[in-house]
Structure 1
Amino acid sequence: MPSVTARRLRPLALATTLLATLALAPAAFAQDGKPIEQQMTPEQFRAAGLDQLSAEQLANLNAWLNRTLDVETTKAAKLAKEKVEDENRGFFDFGSSEPVRSRLQGPFHGFAKGRQYTLENGQVWRQTDGASLAGVELDSPAVEVSPSLIGSAWYLKVEGYNTRAKVERVK
């Protein structure tokens, strides 16, 4: 059975690969900046009506396609990076260090070491310290999971209470 560290690193490796693939996919489609007439077969070129364009019109079309491709590649890479960072927030030092604001799924019965907390966004966090918040019964309370100022620890806080529990992301 793989170690806990290996199981946690797999999603990160997959996310990093996805990010690289998404960033490179439009560039691969453009076939290294070749003009459109070199990317299409002569039959495709004629079927699209591009053989009716003048040399100047064809040059303008190719310039526009290259600019559009550059803009879309940049946008896709940025969105992929943001998605990877957001989805992997809280795993080691990977992803965004912005706080996670969500709600717990179902009832909250206070803090206890080893307890797992599932957020509406699908993230699962496990309490690693002995913080307690006894006698509390809430249904789907709003929570914030935020990183510590120093180090790589994360803390879960339930809205309306000052007690924070040290947590680690497990999913």
Structure 2
Amino acid sequence: MTRIAPARLLALAALLPLATTAMAQQKIEQQMSYEQFKASGLEKLSPTELANLNAWLAGKLEVETAKAVETVRQESGDDRRGLAAERESRDPVAASIAGAFTGFGKGRQFSLDNGQVWRQIDEVALSAKLDNPKVRLTPSLIGSAWYLAVEGYNTRAKVERVK
């Protein structure tokens, strides 16, 4: 079986709603040939019945598309937050530092319990000695910067994702 890269799966998942929306906008009688439409017995439906069938199909298509997109996202396991990408997620990251935290300092790397690795890129300093502290990474309101904050401290360091 051919394995598709997680990034490609996510790209396909992003395009899937567009394709299904286009199909949902077409009525069933437009999607089938006249012969198929007649052979299925749909020409016997009243205009109201046909409209109800089209509405049901459109709703079903949306639900199934949403399920498929979510399945692809979960199976890919490709969390791109903080990495350079055309469509990276801007959702905050809540995690814990894996191991000891000795404070902020330019160039320090922080390995998180979710597998992500971030490096401090600004001059902010903080002295602390904590084991596995909870952290929150948030994107800037403007631009592509990310900031790491340690629970219990007001100081935030500007970081970039390494892994």
Fold match, TM over 0.5?
A: yes
1:16 equivalenced with 2:11 (yes/no): yes
Structure 2: gaps of 5 or more residues: 22-26, 29-49
Q: CA RMSD in A?
A: 4.7
Provide Cα deviations, 1:79-107, integer angstroms capped at 9, x if missing partner.
369768x8222223633322211111122
Report 1:44-123 matches (<5 A). Answer: 66=57, 69-76=60-67, 79=70, 87-92=79-84, 94-123=87-116
1:145 aligns with 137
Distance 1:95 1:155, change over 3 A: same
Q: Is the 8 A contact 1:26 1:73 kept in 2?
A: no
Aligned position for 1:132: 125
- Sort the Cα spacing of 1:12 and 1:69 in 2 relative to 1 into closer, same or farther, 3 A: same
Going from structure 1 to structure 2, the CA distance change for 1:11 and 1:168 (only over 3 Å counts) comes to: farther
Number of aligned residues: 151
> In structure 2, what residue type is equivalent to 1:134?
S
SS of alignment partner, residue 129 of structure 2: coil
Asked if the contact 2:149–2:156 (Cα under 8 Å) also holds between the matched residues in 1, the reply is yes
Q: Conserved in 2, the CA contact under 8 Å of 1:19 and 1:80?
A: no
Q: Distance in 1 between matches of 2:13 and 2:62?
A: 19
Shift of 1:77: 5.5
TM-score for both structures, normalised by structure 1: 0.57
Tell me the residue number matched to 2:31: none
For the residues of structure 2 that align with 1:149 and 1:26, how far apart are their CA atoms? 32
1:68 and 1:117, CA in 2 relative to 1: closer, same or farther beyond 3 A? same
CA–CA distance in structure 1, aligned partners of residues 123 and 6 of structure 2: 28
For residues 143 and 158 of structure 1, the distance between their equivalents in structure 2, rounded to whole angstroms, comes to: 4
Pairing partner for 1:164 from 144, 156, 159: 156
- Name structure 1 gaps, 5 residues minimum: 1-9, 28-32, 35-58
Please state which structure has a larger fraction of its residues in strand: 2
Deviation per CA, 1:92-140, whole angstroms, max 9, x where unpaired? Answer: 36333222111111221111222221222222211111222124333x1
Aligned mates of 1:64, 1:148 — CA distance in 2: 41
Show the counterpart of 2:35. Answer: none
2:137–2:146 CA contact under 8 A, matched in 1? yes
Q: Deviations over 1:15-66 (max 9, x none)?
A: 324543x658999xxxxx99xxxxxxxxxxxxxxxxxxxxxxxx9xx97994
